[in-house]
Amino acid sequence: MDTKNKMINIQNCMHEAGFKLTPQRHAIVKVLLDHHQEHLSAEEIYVELLRVSAAFGLATVYRTLDILTSLNLLTRVSFEDGVARYDLRTEDPAHFHHHLVCTQCGKTVEIHEDLLGDVEKVVLRQYHFQVSDHRLTFLGLCQDCQNSNLLESG
């Protein structure tokens, strides 16, 4: 799905929940869409907005992120650095994608396959717990860091 259609879907979801996609909210969502692979923090989103216009306040960014999170359009994630970062849910809203995080360089890679469907069934069957969502982060070394470490030790 292209950026325009994603924006329309987000606008429709917000409208159905009684929220308008104001110009400020539109700009925030655009930054999230343009940088979806980067998992930006609220402050990083704010800095990107200031590149376009000085008419934004950090409080507006936080309020919009809270609205998008409450509507399940956005997920707050935290990696090794402990900073709250945001990830637009542009695929299947029923499940969040997973992450590979390099503990050496901090690179983050998204896995879009749902790897835990069978685990959810076991959780339901054995623990009588209905899973609504899950998040999985694998920590380790990316290929670049592995190669770099081999060169340094060799």
Same structural domain for residues 13 and 79?
A: yes
Boundaries of domain holding 148: 96-154
Average pLDDT value for residue range 114-130: 88
Same structural domain for residues 63 and 82?
A: yes
Same structural domain for residues 2 and 57?
A: yes
Domain count across the chain? 2
| Separation between Cα atoms, residue 46 and residue 117, nearest integer Å | 36
- Residue 44, number of CB atoms within 10 A of its CB: 17
Same structural domain for residues 42 and 68?
A: yes
pTM of the model: 0.68
Q: What are the helix (H) ranges across the chain?
A: 3-16, 23-34, 42-52, 58-70, 117-127, 143-153
Q: What is the pLDDT of residue 111?
A: 79
Same structural domain for residues 54 and 107?
A: no
Same structural domain for residues 66 and 115?
A: no
Q: What is the pLDDT of residue 132?
A: 76
Letter string b/e over residues 51-87, b meaning 16 or more CB atoms within 10 A of that residue's CB: eeeeebeeebbeebbebbeebebbbebebeeeeebbb
Same structural domain for residues 9 and 58?
A: yes
